[in-house]
């Protein structure tokens, strides 16, 4: 059975499941579209061209007729897991009969996490969905029934992000303001903060934000003119302290709910955009409340097309488990050959590339199909040496990011115990680790943490070989790894964009599916 899943709205995407296997998951922002883009006609055409045959089922995730979760509902709508939260009906697709399925956006998160989780069908699992609007725990039982344990917090993601806007003098005071870059910045800044008991003013600020439901449509930052955080500046110590404490307040609210309401010893699956918060994921992993913790690499809305397709598969076949790989995006598009006036093509040699990186070079690394989800995992990456803070600073300048933003490390799975703690695999870069090697200055955040990705030969053979060659030269298989993208856009996925990017940013070389191109000259006239 072929099921085509479609996610409308921001972070739009199209996914195809065929006989329980994820064939592809295409995301609207990838190929240098604006971050969090909606599905386009071009994306739909590309998805249709990749499908071997027409679908048997069209699965469209519920959404809204607008931009806010409480606006008029589209199909099954945004919220709900009980009766009426999905619908199945006969329809047609270009004249051929198909089944049409729709279920709520809330369900898309649940079934995305369940379908991708490594636990066998029938094993009960707790699921935490925390995102911009939803903050709930659920249990999926042996018969695939969803039990909703109730709301923990409305708008956890939106409330978390609101704090950044409150302190940021550049953020406007208007209803509905949202900047998709703010959650990541807040996560980075929280590491600089002093944790502990809140001051009375901090308490009042936190309590006010937590009480506003829904915060996006009821509250502006100027409703908190009395708060000492209002326009205080994002790099002040006062805000860094507040960011750290507010991060803890939100997590503690969910932790206390889990202790009081959830049966212990089951696995926990984490879904929603807050699942990209590595600090929170690490706390759940270390909490001792659950037998295991799983976070899918596309835990935010980028996985919702997959989740709705899994929900349809569950309803029609009784199966809700997927075979999948994180590299389920689209193949790299070779729409041109790089100009010989800019690049010289050389035979790929991992020894040469390892030498380039060890001597301070930055490499654009493209391999196969792009990663699903927002994290670059060695298929659309910038790679660099991990030892010098100046390398981190250069990468942040290339990325047009603030200097306080950390750069993540990539590491051979065999070496993780030597370089980081804990020593467990982290293939999708979703947990914090403590850095044990003091030489890794470019990838160590201010609190001694790093967002590690581990690599095996089975998952990425060419990259694994490069890491081994780098270890031969430097004693470590760790490299800087950050996403290959224009500012505020999804991963680069075509040669014309890649060549423009590397030339304009003075990237030293690019490796594209085992072909090496070295930069001859930069825009300033020399290399």
CATH code, domain carrying 513: 3.90.870.20
| Residues paired with residue 484 on neighbouring β-strands, in sequence order | none
Q: What is the pLDDT of residue 36?
A: 96
Q: Are residues 70 and 58 in the same domain?
A: yes
Shortest CA distance to 321 belongs to which of 456, 125, 458?
Answer: 125
Q: Are residues 204 and 289 in the same domain?
A: yes
Grade residue 68 by pLDDT with cuts at 50, 70 and 90: confident
Locate tokens 């879904």: which residue?
A: 271
CATH number of the domain enclosing 168: 3.30.420.40
Residue 521 has pLDDT above 80, yes or no: no
pLDDT-based confidence at residue 372 (cuts at 50, 70, 90)? very high
Same domain, 369 and 509: yes
Question: Does residue 215 share a domain with residue 67?
Answer: no
Residue 273, in any domain of the structure: yes
∠ CA 384-390-393, nearest 5°, is 85
**What is the model's pLDDT at position 70?**
83
Q: What is the pLDDT of residue 522?
A: 58
The mean per-residue pLDDT over the stretch 187-208 comes to 97
Same domain, 9 and 63: yes
Tens-digit pLDDT profile for residues 77-91: 999 999 999 999 999
CA-closest candidate to residue 453, choices 266, 338, 326 = 326
In this predicted structure, the answer to whether residue 326 has a pLDDT above a threshold of 50 is yes
Q: pLDDT tens-digit profile of 31-44?
A: 999 999 999 999 99
Tokens, residue 8: 């409308």
Q: pLDDT tens digits, residue range 337-347?
A: 999 999 999 99
- How many domains are contained in the chain? 3
Query: In this structure, are 35 and 81 located in the same domain?
Result: yes
The pTM of this model reads 0.96
User: Which pLDDT score is estimated for 316?
Assistant: 98
What is the pLDDT at residue 69?
Answer: 86
266 and 352 fall within a common domain? no
- The pLDDT, as a whole number, for residue 203 is 97
In this structure, is residue 370 part of a structural domain? yes
Residues 107 and 224 in one domain: no
Summarised one tens digit per residue, pLDDT across range 133-171 is: 999 999 999 999 999 999 999 999 999 999 999 999 999
In this structure, the answer to whether residues 113 and 129 fall within a common structural domain is no
**Mean pLDDT rounded to a whole number for the chain:** 96
Q: Is the pLDDT of residue 526 over 60?
A: no
Q: How far is CA 490 from CA 173, 289, 380, in A?
A: 27, 36, 10
| Structural domain includes residue 338 | no
**Structural domain harbouring 93:** 1-117+298-324
Per-residue pLDDT tens over the stretch 278-297: 999 999 999 999 999 999 99
Q: Do both 80 and 131 map to the same domain?
A: no
User: How far is 454 from 414, CA to CA, in rounded Å?
Assistant: 9
The predicted pLDDT at position 46 comes to: 97
367: closest CA among 314, 325, 305?
Answer: 325
Res 229: pLDDT: 97
- The per-type count for the chain, helices as H runs and strands as E runs, is 14, 24
Residue 451 pLDDT level (bands cut at 50, 70, 90): very high
Output DSSP code: residue 144: -
What is the rounded distance in angstroms from the CA atom of residue 413 to the CA atom of residue 427?
9
Percent of the chain with pLDDT over 70: 99
Does 90 share its domain with 166? no
Given a cut of 80, is residue 336 above it in pLDDT?
Answer: yes
With pLDDT > 90 as the criterion, what percentage of the chain qualifies?
96
């Amino acid at each position: 059975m072929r099921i085509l899943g479609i996610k409308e709205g921001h972070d739009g995407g199209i996914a195809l499941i065929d006989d329980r296997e994820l064939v592809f998951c295409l995301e609207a922002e990838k190929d240098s579209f604006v971050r969090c883009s909606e599905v386009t006609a071009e994306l739909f055409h590309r998805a249709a061209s990749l499908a071997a045959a027409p679908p048997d089922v069209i699965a469209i995730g519920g959404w809204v007729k607008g931009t806010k979760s409480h606006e008029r509902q589209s199909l099954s709508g945004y919220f709900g897991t009980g009766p009426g939260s999905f619908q199945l009906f006969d329809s047609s697709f270009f004249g051929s009969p198909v089944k049409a399925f729709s279920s709520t956006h809330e369900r898309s998160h649940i079934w995305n996490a369940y379908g991708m989780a490594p636990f066998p069908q029938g094993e009960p699992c707790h699921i935490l969905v925390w995102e911009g609007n939803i903050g709930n725990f659920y249990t999926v039982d042996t018969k695939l029934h969803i039990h909703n344990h109730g709301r923990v917090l409305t708008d956890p993601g939106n409330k978390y992000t609101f704090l950044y806007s409150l302190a940021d003098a550049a953020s406007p005071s208007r209803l509905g303001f949202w900047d998709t870059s703010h959650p990541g910045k807040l996560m980075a800044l929280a590491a600089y903060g002093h944790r502990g008991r809140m001051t009375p003013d901090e308490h009042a600020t936190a309590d006010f934000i937590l009480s506003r439901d829904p915060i996006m449509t009821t509250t502006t930052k100027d409703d908190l003119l009395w708060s000492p955080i209002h326009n205080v500046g994002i790099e002040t110590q006062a805000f860094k302290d507040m960011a750290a404490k507010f991060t803890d307040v939100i997590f503690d609210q969910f932790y206390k709910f889990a202790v009081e309401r959830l049966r212990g010893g089951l696995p926990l699956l984490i879904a929603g955009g807050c699942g990209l918060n590595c600090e929170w994921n690490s706390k759940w992993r270390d909490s001792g409340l659950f037998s295991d913790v799983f976070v899918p690499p596309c835990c935010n809305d980028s996985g919702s097309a997959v989740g709705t397709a899994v929900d349809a598969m569950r309803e029609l076949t009784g199966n809700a488990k997927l075979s999948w790989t994180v590299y389920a995006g689209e193949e790299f598009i070779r729409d041109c050959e790089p100009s010989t006036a800019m690049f010289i093509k050389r035979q790929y040699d991992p020894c040469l590339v390892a030498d380039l990186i060890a001597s301070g070079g930055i490499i654009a690394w493209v391999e196969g199909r792009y990663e699903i989800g927002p994290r670059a995992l060695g298929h659309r990456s910038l790679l660099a040496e991990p030892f010098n803070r100046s390398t981190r600073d250069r990468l942040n300048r290339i990325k047009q990011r603030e200097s306080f933003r950390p750069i993540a490390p990539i590491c051979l799975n065999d070496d993780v115990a030597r370089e980081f703690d804990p020593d467990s695999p982290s293939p999708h870069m979703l947990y914090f680790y403590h850095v044990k090697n003091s030489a890794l200055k470019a990838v160590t955040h201010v609190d001694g943490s790093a967002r590690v990705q581990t690599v095996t030969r089975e998952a990425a053979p060419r990259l694994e070989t490069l890491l081994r060659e780098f270890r031969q030269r430097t004693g470590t298989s760790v490299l800087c790894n950050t996403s290959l993208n224009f500012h505020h856009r999804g991963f680069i996925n075509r040669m014309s964009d890649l060549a423009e990017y590397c030339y304009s940013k003075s990237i030293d070389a690019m490796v594209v599916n085992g072909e090496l191109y070295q930069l001859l000259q930069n825009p300033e006239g020399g290399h």
